[in-house]
Structure 1
């Protein structure tokens, strides 16, 4: 006699199973199957269980409808003459995504499964989900953070640059939660010409601040500002546990920069708030600004930061600096600043 606990699920209506009882734990390398938290007769056992069950039901329905919408031709599969299923079959999605057929079936049927980020990425590619649909998939799967493929090399909508340019002489930039710089205007580049000289793929504010040579450091209070930014990064990373784009970035940063690793190890967290900060100009003068962040509805997990001069002197210096930047460009602006000595600048770190 087979113990009842050893067998727990039968897919009686799924083609090819023949009514075979499947082991609960038979989910190879794709995720974790958890015990159901519902009573077959009475439904969910608690309010939180009810919410989770609803989420799993929504996830299953979303996957099924997107599967039915994806044609065999979309997936590079010959349609054949005996196909009755609209769109792709479950086994086709499983094969194309590199997961088990039974496991994917359970996912569509609302079983309590914890899929990995990599598996969801593969399913999203198979079903040809766009960015909004993929983000919805991760939320339904209860992933702590949505993986971000946004990088400084991804083209931004032209209207974003138009808005940034219209803000001149106010410095403005668009950055991700990981501090990747997506776009900026000439006024921002005038404050930090060293960043403007970097290749687009290397424009990360934190990386720049920790690795730039002293004469390229733009911040007056370097220690205070980078500690605050790392605390913000720590808070954001807590919402993205398991996201390989974030874990890989932080691991590489920690391994290559001891100062970052030291500050990261403090486990300090901070929220994104409006704050005053000061920049060195290329001539060694100080410009004080108020940094205000605005969420970008069209690009999730990004903000537009606008820097407003904090006093009349800073406003005048900034106006002159922007004019020089637009005339000379970042390299020549830095060269002439170095030639004048930049006497007011002190050691950054």
Structure 2
């Protein structure tokens, strides 16, 4: 049996080295010397870079790199693999694949990218109806949600970024201790899950700041964090004691977004216990009445900003309330900024600057910076910048 296992391991090793060699050859073949800043040189028999050119870019000998492509059992360092990624212009998926082939491990985490929830993912949340659902990021900030999430857990639209942080709200909001049944057990579980996920981002400034602030503000966090408890997954029952309807029992399921693994989707499915489905429907009806237009989802609420950044998407809310998408329509930047500023003032929000508004409009699928000849108040024709596909109501 031991000999069979050894043979199997050798076969796996041979297959991995073959895949590594093939992968390096195909990535090398798709690049030209000009693309990597090298002179083209004389006539070439094969397309792409030569082995000697890749070795020069990486800073290793030609023989060593040749052995790597020839499936020799050599183990490069993390630094060399990182330089190979840069030399061969690999994207994030290719980089991960190369690290797995060369070192049988995932690559080190690079500087975190902006956490953006795609319109498709927001539509996915909206389809859950009476099941509260939301998306959280690497710091466990709630980045996007559906109406049922607001109805059960509170109006995320009105919260600051820190208030929407799961850990911060759990450990510093006194109301959470009454809201969550078995608060200590739940808090310890979530803390262990956060400890596990934060290990993927050592040195991340946002994670470090959150931990520091929690150590200052929560005696429980300060006492439990040094225990180094780790746990994966957020699946199981969740019992809440809602101030309006009493006990609610859910089945909680969390899963990662494949294309953006730092994003997690959490869905709460109401169980029949404690008459939970009916109570959630009641909370949702009350939510729609509070936000404005009868017992059915109002257009401006049901289609909350489809792209949520870490921060309040006031542009998305303004679009839902004051804008209408019309094909080939055009509206000037000045009219947009006046309408947006007036809406923010009326609703108590701090308006974004012009650059932030433009970026938010782009994330909502609107075409920015279109020039059009218009007539000003003095009947003079001039070129003005604006947004295509939008009408201000």
TM-score w.r.t. length of structure 1: 0.60
**Counterpart in the other structure of 1:307:** 268
Cα distance, 1:132 vs structure 2: 3.3
Unaligned runs of 5+ in 1: 1-44, 332-349
Match of 1:186 among 138, 144, 147: 147
Would you tell me which structure has more helix in proportion to its own residues?
A: 2
**Counterpart in the other structure of 1:60:** 21
Cα distance, 1:224 vs structure 2: 1.6
Assess if the C-alpha contact under 8 Å between 2:81 and 2:99 holds in 1: yes
Cα distance, 1:269 vs structure 2: 3.7
Q: List per-residue Cα deviations over 1:84-128 (Å, max 9, x = no partner).
A: 5532344554565xx422365554454432532x65455434433
**Cα–Cα, structure 1 residues 93 and 324, in superposed 2: closer, same or farther, change >3 Å?**
farther
**Counterpart in the other structure of 2:281:** 319
Match of 2:59 among 94, 97, 100: 100
Query: How many correspondences in the alignment?
Result: 278
Q: What are the within-5 Å matches in structure 2 for residues 241-252 of structure 1? A: 245-246=201-202, 248=204
Give me the whole-angstrom Cα distance separating, in 1, the residues matched to 2:287 and 2:113: 22
Cα distance, 1:167 vs structure 2: 0.8
**Cα–Cα, structure 1 residues 71 and 224, in superposed 2: closer, same or farther, change >3 Å?**
farther
**Counterpart in the other structure of 2:120:** 159
**Counterpart in the other structure of 1:335:** none
**Partner secondary structure for residue 206 of structure 1:** helix
Greater mean alpha carbon deviation, residues 267-276 or residues 194-203 = 194-203
RMSD over equivalenced CA pairs, Å: 4.3
Give me the whole-angstrom Cα distance separating, in 2, the residues matched to 1:140 and 1:261: 41
1:225 and 2:182 correspond: no
1:112 and 2:112 correspond: no
**Partner secondary structure for residue 276 of structure 1:** strand
**Counterpart in the other structure of 2:340:** none
**Counterpart in the other structure of 2:214:** 257
Match of 2:9 among 23, 48, 67: 48
1:290 and 2:247 correspond: no
Cα distance, 1:171 vs structure 2: 0.8
Cα distance, 1:200 vs structure 2: 7.0
User: Greater relative contact order: 1 or 2 (C-alpha under 8 angstroms, separation 6 or more)?
Assistant: 1
**Cα–Cα, structure 1 residues 254 and 298, in superposed 2: closer, same or farther, change >3 Å?**
closer
